C-alpha cells in the first residue's frame, strides 16, 4: 500500500503517515494539492494531511481542499511535534544569520526566534524541505527548523532541540481515501460541512440538531466561501459514528434546511475514548 504525504522525507507528515500505516510505502508530494491528486488518481491508497496544530491553529488550505475533492476522511491521529534547529556540520548558533522553515513551524517557535537578534526568517514550503535546501546548496550561516529525522536524512547537525514555544506541541492529521473505499466497520467520529442562510438564529438552529440528540461537537470551523463575500462554510467534527442512529437523524434534520450539506466521512478516531484493543493498536504505531 502507498500512502501520500506533503513534504520531503523527514517531514512531520511522513512521521504521521508511518504511524498510521507503518508497513506502507511512503510517497512524498510537493504540495497538499498533490496529495489529494495522488489519492484521486490511484497513485496512492491513502493521503495523510495536517489539519490543525495546538499552537499554530488550523491549516486552512486543507479544509478548502476537502471540499474541492471527492475524497473521504477515513481516520485521524495526533503527532507530538518537537522542533530542532539544524544546520551544516560545524555550524554554531552564533554563526546562523538566516532560518528557514514552514510558516506553521515558524509560528510554533515564535518566542525562540525573537530571542535571536539579527536573524532573517524565511518561510518555505516544508520543514524537511528547508533542511534539504541547506544540504543541497551548502548554505553556510543558514539553519532550518525541522525534525531530528530531517537532520539525519540530510546529514545536518542539530544545534538545539525542543525549540517550540510550548512543550505540548501537537498536530492533528486527517487520513483521506477515495470515496469508493469501503467504510470502517466501527466508527466514532463524523466530519461534515454545510452552509446556512444569512438569517437570525441560523447557526443556533443548525447546532441544535446535535445538542437535542446529545451529540458532542469536538470542533467547529468557519471558512469564507470564495466569490461570495461574508458568506461562510461551517466544518463540524461530531463525536459520533455513522452507525449511531442519532447521527443519521441529526444529519437528515440538518440537510432539510442547510442550502449545502456534505458528509466528509465517518471514521474510527484515535482522539476519542476507545477500547483497550484500540489503545494497544495506537501504542504499537498502527491505526485504531
DSSP secondary structure code for residue 241 in this structure: -
Tally of CB atoms within 10 A around 126? 26
36 is catalytic: no
Q: Which of 173, 194, 210, 261 is catalytic?
A: 173
Bridge-based pairing state of the strands 170-178 and 46-53: antiparallel
Hey, what's the cell of 194?
454545510
171 is catalytic: yes
b/e burial code for range 107-122 (CB count within 10 A of at least 16 → b): bbbeebbeebeeeebe
Q: How far apart, in Å, are the Cα atoms of 276 and each of 18, 28, 172, 188, 279?
A: 22, 33, 21, 15, 5
Hey, what's the cell of 190?
463524523
At 233, give phi and psi (nearest 5°): -95, 145
Closest CA to 173 of 41, 42, 7: 7
Q: Which of 91, 124, 127, 171 is catalytic?
A: 171
Closest CA to 197 of 237, 221, 225, 162: 225
b/e burial code for range 73-104 (CB count within 10 A of at least 16 → b): bbbbbbbebebbbbbbeebeeeebeebbbbeb
Distance, in Å, from the CA atom of 188 to the CA atom of 72, rounded to the nearest integer, reads: 15
Catalytic residues: 171, 173
Amino acid at each position: 500500500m502507498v500512502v501520500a504525504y506533503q513534504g520531503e522525507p523527514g517531514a512531520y507528515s511522513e512521521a504521521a503517515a508511518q504511524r498510521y500505516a507503518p508497513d506502507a510505502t511512503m510517497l512524498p508530494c510537493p504540495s497538499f494539492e498533490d496529495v489529494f491528486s495522488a489519492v484521486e488518481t490511484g497513485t496512492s491508497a491513502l493521503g495523510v494531511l495536517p489539519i490543525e496544530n495546538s499552537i499554530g491553529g488550523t491549516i486552512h488550505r486543507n479544509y478548502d481542499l476537502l471540499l474541492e475533492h471527492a475524497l473521504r476522511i477515513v481516520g485521524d491521529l495526533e503527532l507530538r511535534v518537537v522542533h530542532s534547529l539544524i544546520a551544516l556540520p560545524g555550524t554554531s548558533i552564533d554563526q546562523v544569520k538566516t532560518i528557514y522553515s514552514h510558516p506553521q513551524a515558524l509560528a510554533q517557535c515564535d518566542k525562540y526566534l525573537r530571542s535571536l537578534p539579527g536573524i532573517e526568517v524565511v518561510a518555505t514550503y516544508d520543514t524537511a524541505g528547508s533542511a534539504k535546501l541547506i544540504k543541497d546548496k551548502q548554505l553556510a550561516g543558514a539553519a532550518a527548523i525541522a525534525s531530528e529525522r530531517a537532520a539525519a536524512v540530510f546529514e545536518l547537525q542539530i544545534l538545539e532541540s525542543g525549540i517550540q514555544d510550548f512543550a505540548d506541541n501537537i498536530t492533528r492529521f486527517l487520513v483521506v481515501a477515495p470515496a469508493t473505499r469501503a467504510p470502517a466497520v466501527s466508527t466514532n467520529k463524523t466530519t461534515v460541512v454545510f452552509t446556512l442562510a444569512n438569517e437570525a438564529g441560523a447557526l443556533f438552529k443548525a447546532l441544535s440538531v446535535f445538542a437535542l440528540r446529545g451529540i458532542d461537537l469536538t470542533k467547529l470551523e468557519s471558512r469564507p466561501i470564495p466569490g461570495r463575500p461574508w458568506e461562510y462554510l461551517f466544518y463540524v467534527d461530531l463525536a459520533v459514528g455513522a452507525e449511531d442512529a442519532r447521527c443519521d437523524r441529526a444529519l437528515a434534520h440538518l440537510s432539510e434546511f442547510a442550502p449545502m450539506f456534505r458528509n466528509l466521512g465517518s471514521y474510527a478516531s484515535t482522539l476519542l475514548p476507545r477500547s483497550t484493543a484500540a489503545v494497544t493498536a495506537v501504542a504499537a504505531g498502527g491505526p485504531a
